[in-house]
Structure 1
Amino acid sequence: MSFFIKNKGKQPKTNKNQKNPSRKRKLPNNNEKTKSYNVPASKDDDITSSEDEDFNNKEQEHYESEDDNETAQEKKLRLAKVYLKEIEAQDEEQDEQDDHDRKIQQRLFYDHLKQTGRFRSSVADQYKSHSKISFLKAKEHKSTITCVCVSSDDKYLYSGSKDGGIVKWSLETHQKLSSLPFIKKSVEKAYTKGHSSSILSLALSHDSLFLAVGDTSSNIQIWNPETFKHIKTLSGHKNSIYALVFRRGTHTLYSASADRSVKVWSLDEMSYVETLYGHLDAVTAIDALARERAVTAGGRDTSLRMWKIPEESQLIYNGDTGSIDVVKLVNEETFVSGGDNGTLSLWGVNKKKPTASIKSAHGIDETNDQPLWITALAALVNTDLVASGSYDGNIKLWKVGDHSKTLTHLMTIPVLGYVNSLAFSNDGSKLIAAVGSEHRLGRWNVVKSAKNSLVVIELVKS
């Protein structure tokens, strides 16, 4: 029974800090000093102070007054403008990101085309004329200048001549900076201060660390192009070094010789790598780009060969009668050639015959009614611009047509003498020619009025 009895005596003790929810809260008067209480708000009730109520009232009055002064149409227009600004800001951010992504994608696409040999920029139509022609002379070049090369940053020129001298020039100021003079052959100091025979070929590495020089001896000399300090002698050929070229972006050197062989060298180790055989006559010219390939001209064997070095194979292209003496790659899939039959030929890697040919490209020799010999070629790499030289007193510029199937004459630049070597500056603004009174490999004919000089031609774009 006691379980059901209600105790009416003592009231249960309560915590003083606990609030009685049933008790009404007494609001303080303005004159009374009040204590601050931290009262937790329930989930269903919002408790606001008098200051909050005053603020809310003022804010409500502000919006009401604003709404009173603004019509519904004006409000829609204002909100629409705000929305449009937000959209424009988002679009600008998106456009910047899209531009960045597009540039990266375009760069990767161009790099892929260059690596696969399919990249080509159409610039030939922009060249309409030439302006200034400068003639650079030096005491080290009293004889015919045979070869020239340009640094990758277009700051320096290097030239070699039959009298064994090498000169470094500034392409910007056209001043001679330093030289490597001819020296008499000495057993004790062989090739430590210069060359003792005619210079026939030059090649400069992409980072200007190595200058490779070939002469009428069977050795290749490696020099520091900045100080002309001798680095190494590469031995292996058995005859004159007619041509040298570096594989782009590497220190791999390819050499072509009158001993009918092509050799591969690694200048990182300063060592011989391998020999490529196939030509039946002196290898007169060689060229290479980024791929592990090289194209060569075989002189009197009337053939051109594309060497696929990793595959240890070669592609053979048979030319016309006569000697094929010069060859240049336009891109990885296209090259041009010329020789003593006067024909300028355009080739595709996958075609056995020329895709285009210009017979007697530099005219006819009046003394014997024979086509004038094409003695030098240059190509602005990965574009459609090609230059050719002879001894007719002119350098000619050509345009390689669409799909590399045509050659079109663009302009003629007067230069007197044998054009033994040609090179474009990397930006295409200049054409440099090594000019002399006779051919670089012999004295079959002499142009007595010609000056042995380096010719710098300023090209004008439209």
Structure 2
Amino acid sequence: MSSFFTLPASQKKRKRPQPSDQPPAKRGATSKHRTRDESISGSDVSEDDAPVARNEQYDGTESEDEEFENEDPAAKRIRLAEQYLANAQKEVLEDVGFDAVDVDAENLRSRMGERLKEDTADSKGKLYRWIGEDLDWTGAAQRVTRIDGKAVTGVAVQGQYVYTATKDGAISKWEIPSHEPPMRGGKQIGRASETPKRVAYNRGNRRQKKNRDFQEHTGAILCIAASQDGKFVATGATDNKLIVWDAGTLKPLRVFTQHRDSVTSLAFRRGTNQLFTASRDRTVKIWSLDELAYVETLFGHQDEVVDVDALAQEKCVTVGARDRTARLWKVVEESQLVFRGGGAPSKSKGDRAAAKDTTQDDSGIDIPFEQKPYNEGSMDRIACIDDETFITGSDNGSLSLWNIHKKKPVYTYALAHGVDPPPPVEELSAEEYPDESIRGDPQPRWITALRAVPFSDTFVTGSWDGCVRAWRISQDKRRIESLGPVGHPEKSSITRLLEVGDPSSNALSNGALQAGSDGQKPAASSLQGVINDLAIVDRGERGKDGALIAAVVGKEHRLGGWQTKKEAKNGLVLFEISRRTLAAEDPEQANGVAAADGEDDFAGFD
């Protein structure tokens, strides 16, 4: 008796369905055999019916394709533009909080126009936000939290969380309490008026230095960065490791050891999980954290690469320390542009006319002073403004404004954080009556931290002069203008140049590190120590509520012990900058764009 299992293989194969123009095959199978075949197959749907079921899933797509099958390219562009406008109008109405019936048509058109200009400028990488004058830098709320251990070297902000790294090999996750509802998309920024709370902590182990399988840092962490989607945190250290952590739990996900020397700087490509790393091995490497994989290495610098920054395009900018060059890397084109620094900033005619042999202090006393030019020995910091403009900071205290169409700086602001006075003559000589001439000249304070608000005219810097300073770029993008210290009243230039720190606060005492018990904002005090890193983010939709600055202060420089402040305290400092009342009342400036001299709000965008 033959069965399905005893039949030859040629008879076991299922027959393909007959074409429609051929007569159907004879039905010789009995109902008994049909039942047996169905029980063996184990399925109520035959293979011949499966393609039909799959095709039914795409009936809607095929019908849509058939509807626009004969559509010409011009009509397709118009259709897609109309669809984009409809989506944008829906988002604007959601932001406003009213129904279309309740919104004035003129106001809606204005908001739609602003939104379209912003989206276009953002996609093209153009500077379009002029917010420097709209923010109240002097009246910023300030909160300082002490961090135990060695110097704090890096800081990153993502939403209402702040991540810090120290030379102990430790990383911390801080939560900034916020009483505001989450923004659209779930993003929420904390308030600097609240004390941050540490919610996660992970510390490396130097004893495991020889253990290659150890999945954490065994050296000092020099840099930290957080992805925009809140999934990853990346750190680089002197143990040559790049470690990717889970942002929620600070558990290591992957350890990369491709770099041959210390990893000095990290930067995420805006809107993606592509990561750029800079190292003392003179290379820049690219990583894809979605796949936790290495991508590519960029060569060109002649000295250690100490800082890197990136925006939305697949490009990055770096500085090479003592090779005194900044480089723009075009990853897709596999090319680079080299911008050469060095030398001393030249004085303009106005600066030379204003220079005098003596000047007056606030008390009216004449003090001999001559601002000599200091040569640039190392380019240490870099920040992107837009796809064509970036800022660099150097060890001679200069801030340089660059454009990718010129090989030399467009403008250089000398001694941005002033100079340190010469040390007392007693510290320089063991003689009983030392000669005053051995004291030498005042030395400039280096630019140790630099961050910019992307696609805006605003950036902030840090050194060891006791404060974070805010700056803006002029409307013609040819000058750098000072906005003053953050949270401090501006002082005269001669006092700023000659003082070591604010005499009212020689150190960050425990009382200065925490707010008073009565909840009052602590008095503005000098941040004694080296500001090793900064992070600045918008508060509210496109910065309508101001900005938040996170700064980390250490007893010594993040890359070495050249500058050591024994009286300093390691800590995290938060500044909450609100928008000025005038800007908030002006409807034309409600989106963070300030008009100047009757020009269009998007004067910087062509």
TM-score (norm 1): 0.75
- What's the CA shift for 1:97? 6.5
Instruction: Check conservation: 1:165, 1:180, Cα contact below 8 A.
Output: yes
In structure 1, the residue matched to 2:142 is 133
* Contact 1:308 1:314 (C-alpha < 8 Å) held by counterparts: yes
The correspondence for 1:336, drawn from 370, 380, 391, is: 391
- Residue 349 of structure 1 is matched in structure 2 by 404
Alignment match, 2:480:
407
5 Å matches for 1:48-447?
103-128=111-136, 129-139=138-148, 142-151=149-158, 153=159, 155-172=160-177, 173=194, 174-186=196-208, 190-192=213-215, 194-320=216-342, 321-367=376-422, 368-413=441-486, 414-427=526-539, 428-447=546-565
Change (3 A) 1:191 1:134: farther
Offset, 1:101 = 6.0
Structure 1 distance, partners of 2:125, 2:560, is 36
Q: Residues 437 and 102 of structure 1: is their aligned pair in 2 closer, same or farther, counting only changes over 3 Å?
A: same
CA distance in 1, matches of 2:451, 2:556: 19
Question: How far apart, in 1, do the equivalents of 2:554 and 2:101 lie?
Answer: 60
Letter in 2 for 1:308: K
CA spacing shift, 1:432–1:94, aligned 2, 3 Å: closer
SS of residue paired to 2:538: coil
Measured in 2, the distance between the counterparts of 1:134 and 1:102 equals: 38
Structure 2 CA distance for partners of 1:95 and 1:219, relative to 1, 3 Å: closer
Aligned 8 A contact 1:110 1:119 in 2: no
1:448 lines up with 2:566 in the alignment: yes
Letter in 2 for 1:426: D
Higher relative contact order (CA 8 A, sep 6+): 2
Q: Residues 67-124 of structure 1: CA distance to partner in whole angstroms, max 9, x if unpaired?
A: xxxxxxxxxxxxxxxxxxxxxxxxx979866765664454333122112121321111
Which whole-Å CA distance do the structure 2 matches of 1:436 and 1:117 have between them? 34
Q: Deviations over 1:370-391 (max 9, x none)?
A: 2111111111222211111111
State how far apart, in whole Å, the 2-side matches of 1:349 and 1:403 are. Answer: 15
Tell me the SS of whatever aligns to 1:125. Answer: helix
Distance (Å, rounded) in 1 between the aligned partners of 2:103 and 2:219: 62
Q: Secondary structure at the match of 2:120?
A: helix
Q: Gaps (5+ residues) in structure 1?
A: 1-91
SS of structure 2 residue aligned to 1:461: coil
- Say whether the 8 Å CA contact 2:127–2:457 is kept in structure 1: no
Find the aligned partners of 1:110 and 1:433 in 2 and give their Cα distance.
29
The 8 Å contact of residues 146 and 201 in structure 1, kept in 2 or not, is answered as: yes
Q: Distance in 1 between the 2:172 and 2:450 partners? A: 22
Q: Which amino acid is the alignment partner of residue 564 of structure 2?
A: V
Deviation, 1:350, is 1.7
- Deviation (angstroms), 1:146: 0.4
CA shift for structure 1 position 163? 1.1
Deviates more, 1:260-269 or 1:102-111: 102-111
Distance in 1 between residues matched to 2:200 and 2:558, nearest whole Å: 23
**Corresponding position of 2:14:** none
SS of 1:299's equivalent? coil
Deviations 1:132-191 (A, max 9, x none): 32112234xx1110000000x2x0000001111101001234111111113234366844
Alpha-carbon deviation of 1:459?
1.9
Structure 1 pair 93–364 and aligned structure 2 pair: CA distance change class (3 A): closer
The residue matched to 2:117 in structure 1 has which SS? Answer: helix
Query: Aligned in 2, Cα 1:409/1:103: closer, same or farther, shift over 3 Å?
Result: closer
Percent identity over the alignment is 37
CA separation in 1, counterparts of 2:101 and 2:230?
Answer: 42
Q: Is the 8 A contact 2:118 2:128 kept in 1?
A: no
**DSSP-derived class of the 2:119 partner:** helix
Task: Using the TM superposition, give the Cα deviation of residue 314 of structure 1 relative to its aligned residue in structure 2, in angstroms.
Answer: 0.7
Q: Which one has the bigger strand percentage? A: 1
Letter in 2 for 1:347: W
Distance 1:349 1:171 in 2: 38
Q: Give per-residue Cα distances to partners, 1:418-455, cap 9 Å, x unaligned.
A: 01101112324221111011100011121122110011
Contact 2:259 2:279 in 1 (8 A): yes
Deviations along 1:397-438, whole A, 9 cap, x unmatched? 112111211111111244221011011123242211110111
Partners of 1:404 and 1:170 in 2: CA distance: 37
- Whether contact under 8 Å (1:162, 1:198) holds in the other structure is yes
So what's the TM-score if we normalise by structure 2? Answer: 0.58
In the alignment, is the contact (CA less than 8 A) between 1:191 and 1:230 conserved in 2?
Answer: no
